[in-house]
Amino acid sequence: MYIVDRTVRFARGFMLSYGPTGIKKRLWDKEFSGTKWDFIDNTVGDCVYPYLEKYAKNGSILDLGCGPGNTANELDADVYQSYTGVDISEAALAKAVKRTRESGRTGKNTFVNSDFLGYEPPQDFDIILFRESLYHVPYGQVLPILKKFSKHLKSDGVFIVRLYAGDHRPGVIKTRVTAKLDLIRREFAVIESRQFDLPAFPNVFVFRPRG
């Protein structure tokens, strides 16, 4: 039973990252239709916010894999002018839109239902954020996707990546996650990076294209 359960979970995790868009969308919608992800509805005080506040410069933010609107509504409204959240899950976006209406930020926050791997932004941004969403980009697609979105950074714009290096198991670091952070260190100009000594070791990386 344990082996069957583990195999099903592995297959599901694999499809969430590697599946075709239609299947990923259905799976993510199912994830957000239940209560599994309710814990990210309130992430006030998260370690990524000081970085967003520092680099937003009262400008524009693109949030790839934005989820249920936590970043869009918890970030200090005075530090940014416009925010675009992209997510593959309509269920997550329904929550994001509702929360944005309730917080009175409809003039600032916009949401797009899309697989970010194929998304073409209509403008350039001060910040392009992957908050716990780069985890779901297959390793082989990390560099191509960052290069593609590099073209949509303003000249002094930055990528911000927040990524747990571990999981619920105390002290465990996942090499398939740290390999993505190593790739960023190798290929980009890292402005600042920090691994926080918090459960599951969240990392925040701020970087831009070299040159």
Binding site for ligand SAM (CB under 6 A): 24, 28, 40, 43, 65-67, 70, 86-89, 92, 115-117, 131-133, 136
Euclidean distance between CA atoms 15 and 1, whole angstroms: 21
* Nearer to ligand SAM among residue 156 and residue 199 (C-beta): 199
CB of 162 to ligand SAM, least distance (A): 7
**Cβ neighbours around 12 below 10 Å, total:** 13
In angstroms, give the least distance from the CB of 2 to ligand SAM: 25
For the bound state, the minimum distance from the C-beta of residue 50 to ligand SAM, rounded and expressed in Å, comes to: 15
CB burial class (10 A; 0-12, 13-18, 19+) of residue 48? buried
Q: Which CB, 85 or 157, lies closer to ligand SAM? A: 85
Q: How far is the CB of 188 from ligand SAM (least distance, A)?
A: 20
Give min distance, CB of 140 to ligand SAM, in A: 14
User: Nearer to ligand SAM by C-beta: 189 or 198?
Assistant: 198
Q: Which is nearer to ligand SAM, 131 or 208 (CB)?
A: 131
**Whose Cβ is closer to ligand SAM: residue 28's or residue 188's?**
28
**CA dist., res. 56 & res. 157, Å (int):** 9
State how far the Cα of 72 lies from the Cα of 98, in Å rounded to an integer. 12
Nearest one of 40, 83, 37 to 63, comparing CA atoms = 83
In the sheet that 125-131 helps form, which strands lie side by side, from edge to edge? 109-113, 80-87, 59-64, 125-131, 153-164, 202-209, 188-195
